[in-house]
Amino acid sequence: MAAVVLAATRLLRGSRAWGRSRLRFRALGDRQFSSGGAYPSVPLSAPLPGVPTPVFATADGQEKFETKVTTLDNGLRVASQSKFGQFCTVGVLINSGSRYEAKYLSGIAHFLEKLAFSSTDRFDSKDSILLTLEKHGGICDCQASRDTTMYAVSADSKGLDTVVGLLADVVLHPRLTEEEIEMARMAVQFELEDLSMRPDPEPLLTEMIHEAAYRENTVGLHRFCPAENIAKIDRDVLHSYLRNYYTPDRMVLAGVGIEHDHLVECARKYLLGARPAWGSGAAVDVDRSVAQYTGGVVKEADFIPFAVLNMMMGGGGSFSAGGPGKGMFTRLYLNVLNRHHWMYNATAYHHSYEDTGLLCIHASADPRQVREMVEIITKEFILMGGTVDVVELERAKTQLMSMLMMNLEARPVIFEDVGRQVLATRSRKLPHELCALIRDVRPEDIRRVASKMLRGKPAVAALGDLSDLPSYEHIQAALSSRDGRLPRTYRLFR
């Protein structure tokens, strides 16, 4: 009985408290002014005294998103893109990378990526660089790909002069001390070991498919430093490479979220006439080779419990950088391949370079279903050369434009897009221009490009349990047939 009385007392006490809070809420709702202690008599419709006037973005109906490009006297290109906000992203993109290492030890670009933002003539250590950036809320990064090396900084726009000066010092005046090179060796060694142990085989497959598609030339050269070259790369080797490829005519200073004239002024101050650490001698040994697509197969047995396959078609002018047709293939294949539920993974994508490109289908499945997986891929390649479903094509266009616009909402992505386009073509197509090109793609364009693509040899990379993988000759025969079917095989013993 006592427990029931206690519960009823608590319930009543709670209801009375709720009633008081409801009355209190009604009283507050009747007040005309803010209840803040600091400004008791200022209405909510008026700005608080002492608070800075907010600055809002304005639109006057004119196009203000064009990319401005200026070429300096030494050949350096300065590109900028306006974007509202307090922060900016600025960086230097260089036409260099592993594709230019034919006459050098493989792995130099990989080393330079690890050595980036180390000590320079003005900064004693990486910590000094990071402390300088910290004053402007900045972060830095360096990425080296097969054809581009990119040094980038995101920071407050007010620190643009400091950021450009720092970038110029990092790119043109690195000390490359023996201690830093030894640390880079350790970092490269660790990354190679990590690649071989990580469960995701994508980086290894990307290396393998490029090796198969371009045998020992340009983009087919290894992006990662081979283990046998780690101890061979030293300061003299690095300076020899930098002298040929880190020249102003192969560079773009790109910025997003800044005034173009201010960026050009900083470029003239820090990058025009600057003498690099390796000397100002003319480049004498620049590799100007054009990518030669060869096709072929690279496979590696592995103990992973599934088989992963990358199959590519392409090469030559039909898949050169900048063409929107490749995206059409990517979206169409993705829509079709995802119908096969037993595949662990089925995606389609492409690699674009200045002089070549590759369309790739990446798929993985149980080792017992490898043959069926390969046949599905070959059938889809063949179907692209036939009748293209108009509904699927329109869906692919919509998906591609949506992906393009969503990616370009981020400032670092805009920066990379500006820099890479200006580096490759000396200008930049704006998003609405790219969308117009995508809308103009017709079914006959898909058939034309697919037919030309299928006349070449495929490139195949496979990793895992490959006991049931069809031979390269059978894959090639399937891609030359009408229906994409693999030749039938018969076994005397099961």
DSSP three-state, residue 308: strand
What is the pLDDT of the chain when averaged over all its residues?
A: 85
pLDDT in tens, 259-309: 999 999 999 999 998 999 998 777 888 999 999 999 999 998 877 777 888
Under a CB-based contact definition with an 8 Å cutoff, are residues 157 and 80 in contact? no
Contact in structure between 88 and 152 (CB atoms under 8 Å): no
Q: How many CA within 13 A on the CB side of residue 205?
A: 22
- Note the pLDDT of residue 86: 94
Backbone angles phi, psi at 149, to 5 degrees: -115, 130
Full DSSP string of 357-378: EEEEEEEEE-GGGHHHHHHHHH
pLDDT value of position 24: 42
- pLDDT value of position 315: 54
d(CA 485, CA 448): 21
Burial (Cβ within 10 Å: 0-12, 13-18, ≥19) of residue 360 = buried
Question: Could you tell me the two tokens for 281?
Answer: 């001698």
Q: How confident is the model at residue 59 (pLDDT cuts 50, 70, 90)?
A: low
Q: Which two tokens stand for residue 360?
A: 């790739």
Is residue 35's pLDDT more than 70?
Answer: no
With 60 as the cut, is the pLDDT of residue 365 above it? yes
Query: Per-residue pLDDT tens for 386-402?
Result: 888 899 899 989 999 99
Q: Is pLDDT above 80 for 8?
A: no
pLDDT at 197: 85
pLDDT of the residue at 19:
42
pLDDT, residue 317, reads 41
Q: Which residues contact 332 (CB under 8 A, 6 or more apart)?
A: 348, 384, 388, 392, 393, 396, 446
Q: Which long-range contacts (CB under 8 A, 24 or more apart) does 55-64 make?
A: 57/84
Q: For residues 16-21, give the mean pLDDT.
A: 41
* Model pLDDT, residue 490: 64
Q: Are strands 251-256 and 77-81 parallel, antiparallel or unpaired?
A: parallel
Place of tokens 């390649």: 381
State the pLDDT confidence band at 37, using cuts at 50, 70 and 90.
Answer: low
Q: Each residue of 201-259: pLDDT tens digit?
A: 889 999 999 999 999 999 999 999 999 999 999 999 999 999 999 999 999 999 999 99
CA distance 423 to 413: 15
Residues with Cβ within 8 Å of 384's Cβ and at least 6 positions away in sequence, in order, are 329, 332, 333, 446, 447, 450
Mean pLDDT highest for which of 22-26, 342-346, 423-427?
A: 423-427
User: Which of 192, 177, 171 minimizes the C-alpha distance to 110?
Assistant: 192
Residue 6: pLDDT above 50?
no
Strand partners, 357: 352
pTM of the model: 0.82
Tokens representing residue 128 in the block: 């000094």
pLDDT band at 456 (very low <50, low <70, confident <90, very high): confident
C-alpha 221/C-alpha 100 separation (Å) is 9
Residue 84 pLDDT: 87
pLDDT on residue 347: 83
- Compute CA 470 distance to the chain's CA centroid, rounded to the nearest angstrom: 33
- What is the predicted pLDDT for the residue at 136? 96
The span from the CA of 443 to the CA of 478, in Å, is 23
Q: Are strands 296-301 and 459-464 parallel, antiparallel or unpaired?
A: parallel
Q: Average of pLDDT values for 377-386? A: 87
pLDDT band at 178 (very low <50, low <70, confident <90, very high): very high
Render pLDDT for 109-168 as a digit per residue (tens, 0 to 9). 999 999 999 999 999 999 999 999 999 999 999 999 999 999 999 999 999 999 999 999
pLDDT score of 25 = 40
Beta strands in 132-184 (DSSP E): 139-144, 149-156
Q: Which domains does the chain have, with CATH numbers?
A: 68-272 (3.30.830.10), 302-480 (3.30.830.10)
Q: Is pLDDT of 327 > 80? A: no
Contact 138, 154 (CB under 8 A): yes
Q: How far apart are CA 17 and CA 11, in angstroms?
A: 10
* Angle formed by the axes of helices 235-245 and 108-115, nearest 10°: 100
- Who contacts 11 (Cβ-Cβ below 8 Å, separation ≥6)? none
Within a 13 Å sphere around the CA of 101, how many CA atoms are in the beta-carbon half?
A: 29
Share of the chain above pLDDT 90, in %: 61
Tokens of 398: 């919509």
Instruction: Calculate mean pLDDT across residues 310-334.
Output: 51
